[in-house]
Amino acid sequence: MSPPNELPRAVQTSWHGFLDTYEPLRADLYRYCRHLTKSPWDAEDLAQDTLARAFVTLAQMGEAPPSPRAWLFRVASNLWIDQTRRRRREEPLDAHEGEAETPSDARLAREAGGTLLGQLSPQERAAVVLKDVFDLSLDETAEALSTTVGAIKAALHRARGKLSVEAPTREPESAAPAVLDAFCDAFNAGDLDRLTAILLDTSSVEVVGATTRYGREAARRTVLQGMLFGVKRMVSVDPTGALDPRLFEGVVASPPRVEARLHRGAWVLLHWYAHRDGDAVRALTRIEADGDHVARLQNYFYNPELIREVCGELGLPSRVNGYRWWPPSR
């Protein structure tokens, strides 16, 4: 057994080895999660949860699954079905009374028409996505959903008779919370002290999929420093390091700026980076506020599918940074 002080490094080494194998499946995993969920944010959350659950499950299996892609879909399916059933059990019976049925804009209507939607049970929706979108065989679909071929055939028959367009939700308009304005002002001034002071002592600050820090000082030393000054690393990428130099061609060594935008009824911070051919969004941040302070901050930098989709919905230019934050094995 590793001593306690060596355990984090041992786990990190195993985690990076796991990602070396499963990273090529990340785009397919996100796409699968996106068909199951109602928003890109939910899809990214489900994809991250799936990777974490898969890592733990693989450690308990003793042998690698014969089809990593189908197995990853199985983990995602089980998580999503469990989450959906739990939400339905906890949801008040009158939770949807009086909700508006009017589409908020053409973008949401188009998306609703192209997504497998809420009239289906969790099992039905997952079966249709696996069979019709990802072209898995009936046997592979049954394996991914831990059921029989007969049950999959029945689920597909029911689902195809029930598919219809889900009414998109109206996106509310409201002023950005004061804490977001304060965060943007401090960030765009490059004021690390003021930015740190906006956090609660008990805040959690996360680079999603990469690292999480708790409390002001831990966040200041790592995540906030990277968000403010990481562009210096981006313009001088080490070809032997973690970042892919091809993804950072044309980046200019100017401090990034943030801007608050409303997306799907919630505020998101867009991180704009200067490039020789114009500015583009390379990261997103979501903030949960507690009064005038930040209780939780989630920065999405190593999440290319999410960045592309959110910026596409907002009609903004974007660039992505890949998935990797650790150097390749030597």
Q: Based on the number of CB atoms within 10 Å of its own CB, is 153 exposed (0-12), middle (13-18) or buried (19 or more)? A: middle
**218 pLDDT higher than 90:** yes
Q: What residue ranges define each of the domains in the chain, with the CATH number in brackets?
A: 7-95+104-162 (1.20.140.160), 178-314 (3.10.450.50)
* Chain segment 122-166, per-residue pLDDT in tens: 777 777 777 766 777 888 777 777 778 777 777 776 766 655 444
Look at 137 and 221; give whichever has higher pLDDT. Answer: 221
| Residue 103 in this model has a pLDDT that exceeds 70 | no
Task: Say which amino acid occupies 288.
Answer: E
Rounded distance between C-alpha atoms, residue 250 and residue 271, angstroms: 16
CA dihedral 42, 45, 51, 57 (to 10 degrees): -90
Surface-to-core class of residue 325, CB atoms within 10 Å of its CB (0-12 exposed, 13-18 middle, 19+ buried): middle
* Amino acid, res. 197: A
| Reported confidence tier of residue 181, pLDDT bands at 50, 70, 90 | very high
Q: What is the spatial distance between Cα 67 and Cα 13, in angstroms, rounded to a whole number?
A: 23
pLDDT category of residue 256 using cuts at 50, 70 and 90: very high
pTM for this predicted structure: 0.79
Q: Tell whether the torsion through CA atoms of 300, 303, 306 and 312 is positive or negative.
A: positive
Quote the pLDDT of residue 284. Answer: 98
pLDDT of residue 3: 57
Cα–Cα distances in Å, from 262 out to 10, 174, 243, 251?
Answer: 41, 9, 30, 26
Choose among 132, 153, 133: nearest CA to 142: 153
Q: What is the pLDDT of residue 328?
A: 67
Rounded average pLDDT over 235-256? 89
* Contact (CB, 8 A) for 117 and 164: yes
pLDDT of residue 169: 46
